[in-house]
Structure 1
Amino acid sequence: MEQLSPSDLKAILHSKRANIYYLEHCRVMQKDGRVLYLTEAKYDNLYWNIPIANTTVILLGTGTSITQAAMRMLSSAGVLVGFCGGGGTPLFMGAEIEWLMPQSEYRPTEYIQGWMQFWFNEAKRLEAAKTFQQARISFIRSIWSKDKELKAEGIFYDDSIVGPQFIAFENKITQVDKVGDLLLAEASLTKQLYRYVAQKTSTPNFLRQRDDPDLPNQFLNHGNYLAYGLAACCLWVLGIPHGFAVMHGKTRRGALVFDVADLIKDAIILPWSFICAQEKMTEQQFRQQILQKFTEHQCLDFMFEQVKSIALAHGK
């Protein structure tokens, strides 16, 4: 069988790749120039192909193992690998926070250089954080205005309940002069969105607690980690280390991953966690729904656009 070269494997831009995999109770290996995962059936072993050239992230859950040859091929294709618990959360320690990062010396340098030009200036860092939040609100407005399935659930950006909240937050963005105040305003808005979507999906008395076993909280955790995978992929491709956050705590090595993931979490993860919980979906069904929405609304493209724009604009 013809062997693929690393250049062949990178033919699909990361911003255009469609797949995130979560695997459990299987063995990931290289066979005949392909990456496969092996599951053990009662009477036979089953092999399944992973199209690595169209994959951004692989999450390895409980009961998994991976061979060195498979990791070499995944690295050649620029696929991030993360080790996690059951259901995709939590992420365990790998390299570069939670991810095993492919090695490449040929990533662009202009974005990290632009990022560094503003990052050490506190005022410019605040301006970058505000730009992130403005982009986040614009993305919510765009998705909630055009997604027919959200409209069917009665979720609208300009609803009389949350419309004023969005306007108030946008005004607050321009007024704050400290990152801490921006974080408080962002947390307040997110609480309002939880309350709004919980009301629309008949989820009374919802309380956001990461360790709560109820479906909405489980799905929020799961979906957030999928968003973190996209964010980590975006930053790796652009060559920006995860520690150079503009909003989340600078003492956390992965804080910039959280900043970038926030661009899409409230627009996609938040409403669909409640909708899928209301429909009593399984974790696999929820994950498929989220990945479909990531692709439909070009979430990874949006992340790339925003991070590149901030790096180049604020670094001048």
Structure 2
Amino acid sequence: MEDFSPSDLKAILHSKRANLFYLEYCRVMQKDGRVLYLTEDTKENLYFNIPIANTTVILLGNGTSITQAAMRMLAQAGVLVGFCCGGGTPLYMGCEIEWMTPQNEYRPTEYLQGWMGFWFDDEKRLDAAKHFQQARVAFLKQVWQKDRDLKNEGFNFDDKAIQTALDTFFTRTEAATNSQMLLLTEAQLTKVLYKYAANTTNCDGFKRQHQSSKSVDIGKANDFLNHGNYLAYGLAACTLWVLGIPHGFAVMHGKTRRGALVFDIAGLIKDALVLPWAFICAKENATEQEFRQQILQAFTDHKALDYMFEHVKQVAQRG
């Protein structure tokens, strides 16, 4: 399973896939690298294979359950999953596996309508992106000036290197005329913060890599950055899901990427919380679980989710 690649399961286009499964009174699970469903009988249990690479939809009817491991494999294969009543109707929940949105006709749409009110206007969309960039730095300032643990580890918001980088950041953000310029400005600031964090925690020779490095300290810092960023993506996705704003309506990251708005919103908190604690935990040789607990506690202490909600709602209502 370590070498499993989602691309291995996408050779068959969705339009050419043959199967739609309706299942009831069974348990769907992952076993030996395959997705199976188990039916229980008085004398024996029977396993049946589901050919997920050639499956478009699975409907789960009465008396069904599904494991997390099976859901992960179905997501990798691009299989849609729905929960329904007997015979396939009515459909209670239909989803692209990551998120199950209640099919409620009376759910409020004010934030979606507000978002759509500006999203098709390039200038207003750029203005929204600038708002998030400014809010990103505001949260960085708020956290680093308040958090005693970060101060004790040597993270100082008023450091000359950071202030110089922020002056450049604000100037270039204000002057930006498109999202690509904003992304470049963001990357330049983050690079400075990486260097500052590496120097502060004595992580010599750090280079941002999405794959683990042979160096223990550098490898751990990169692994923790990846781990923490995905936790931030989870908060951002929850924020958008609750407010009813589709993840594809990004203001800064690529509009062709399905979850691009998630990246925009996660950026509000990544530099302030994930970045410093990834380096600190790497210095302390923490385990993945210890890092996870530290980051989740930091999210709670600094009300990261509340901050995301506040600024997404501000932008939507302004639209």
**Judging changes above 3 Å, is the alpha-carbon distance between structure 1 residues 94 and 157 closer, same or farther for their aligned structure 2 residues?**
farther
Contact conserved, 1:82 with 1:94, CA < 8 A, in 2?
Answer: no
In the other structure, the counterpart of 1:102 is: 101
3-state SS, counterpart of residue 141 of structure 1: helix
Task: Measure, in 2, the Cα distance between the counterparts of 1:272 and 1:102.
Answer: 33
2:249 maps to amino acid: F
3-state SS, counterpart of residue 160 of structure 2: coil
Measured after TM superposition, the shift of residue 173 of structure 1 is 1.3
Measured after TM superposition, the shift of residue 99 of structure 1 is 1.7
2:302 is aligned with 1:297: yes
Deviations 1:38-63 (A, max 9, x none): xxxxxxxxxxxxxxxxxxxxxxxxxx
Task: Measure, in 2, the Cα distance between the counterparts of 1:285 and 1:210.
Answer: 20
2:315 maps to amino acid: I
Contact conserved, 1:28 with 1:70, CA < 8 A, in 2?
Answer: yes
Measured after TM superposition, the shift of residue 131 of structure 1 is 0.3
2:314 maps to amino acid: S
2:141 is aligned with 1:144: no
Task: Measure, in 2, the Cα distance between the counterparts of 1:262 and 1:101.
Answer: 24
Which of 243, 251, 261 aligns to 1:256? It is: 261
2:283 is aligned with 1:278: yes
2:286 is aligned with 1:287: no
In the other structure, the counterpart of 1:190 is: 190
Task: Measure, in 2, the Cα distance between the counterparts of 1:264 and 1:184.
Answer: 18
Runs of 5+ consecutive residues of structure 2 not aligned to the other structure: 1-26, 30-62, 81-94, 214-218
2:246 is aligned with 1:241: yes
Task: Measure, in 1, the Cα distance between the counterparts of 2:187 and 2:79.
Answer: 29
Contact conserved, 1:125 with 1:246, CA < 8 A, in 2?
Answer: yes
In the other structure, the counterpart of 2:313 is: 308
**Judging changes above 3 Å, is the alpha-carbon distance between structure 1 residues 123 and 162 closer, same or farther for their aligned structure 2 residues?**
same
Q: What is the 5 A alignment of 1:1-316?
A: 68-69=64-65, 92=76, 99-105=98-104, 106-213=106-213, 214-313=219-318, 315=319
Measured after TM superposition, the shift of residue 103 of structure 1 is 1.9
Measured after TM superposition, the shift of residue 101 of structure 1 is 2.4
In the other structure, the counterpart of 1:53 is: none
Measured after TM superposition, the shift of residue 28 of structure 1 is 11
Measured after TM superposition, the shift of residue 162 of structure 1 is 1.1
Measured after TM superposition, the shift of residue 307 of structure 1 is 0.3
2:101 maps to amino acid: P
Give the structure-1-normalised TM-score: 0.70
The higher radius of gyration belongs to 2
3-state SS, counterpart of residue 266 of structure 1: helix
**Judging changes above 3 Å, is the alpha-carbon distance between structure 1 residues 277 and 241 closer, same or farther for their aligned structure 2 residues?**
same
1:127 maps to amino acid: D
Measured after TM superposition, the shift of residue 70 of structure 1 is 7.3
Measured after TM superposition, the shift of residue 100 of structure 1 is 2.6
Contact conserved, 1:82 with 1:99, CA < 8 A, in 2?
Answer: no
Task: Measure, in 1, the Cα distance between the counterparts of 2:121 and 2:173.
Answer: 19
Deviations 1:176-225 (A, max 9, x none): 11111111111000001000000000101101010124100100010011
Contact conserved, 1:197 with 1:274, CA < 8 A, in 2?
Answer: yes
Task: Measure, in 1, the Cα distance between the counterparts of 2:301 and 2:129.
Answer: 26
Contact conserved, 2:28 with 2:65, CA < 8 A, in 1?
Answer: no
Task: Measure, in 2, the Cα distance between the counterparts of 1:236 and 1:120.
Answer: 20
3-state SS, counterpart of residue 102 of structure 2: coil
Task: Measure, in 2, the Cα distance between the counterparts of 1:199 and 1:162.
Answer: 13
Contact conserved, 2:28 with 2:70, CA < 8 A, in 1?
Answer: no
1:257 maps to amino acid: V
Contact conserved, 2:268 with 2:308, CA < 8 A, in 1?
Answer: yes
Task: Measure, in 2, the Cα distance between the counterparts of 1:290 and 1:82.
Answer: 27
Measured after TM superposition, the shift of residue 81 of structure 1 is 11
Contact conserved, 1:157 with 1:163, CA < 8 A, in 2?
Answer: yes
**Judging changes above 3 Å, is the alpha-carbon distance between structure 1 residues 94 and 103 closer, same or farther for their aligned structure 2 residues?**
farther
Measured after TM superposition, the shift of residue 156 of structure 1 is 1.2
In the other structure, the counterpart of 1:40 is: none
Give the structure-2-normalised TM-score: 0.69
2:223 maps to amino acid: Q
**Matched length:** 238
Measured after TM superposition, the shift of residue 102 of structure 1 is 3.4
Task: Measure, in 1, the Cα distance between the counterparts of 2:171 and 2:126.
Answer: 15
Identity, % of aligned positions: 55
**Judging changes above 3 Å, is the alpha-carbon distance between structure 1 residues 28 and 296 closer, same or farther for their aligned structure 2 residues?**
farther
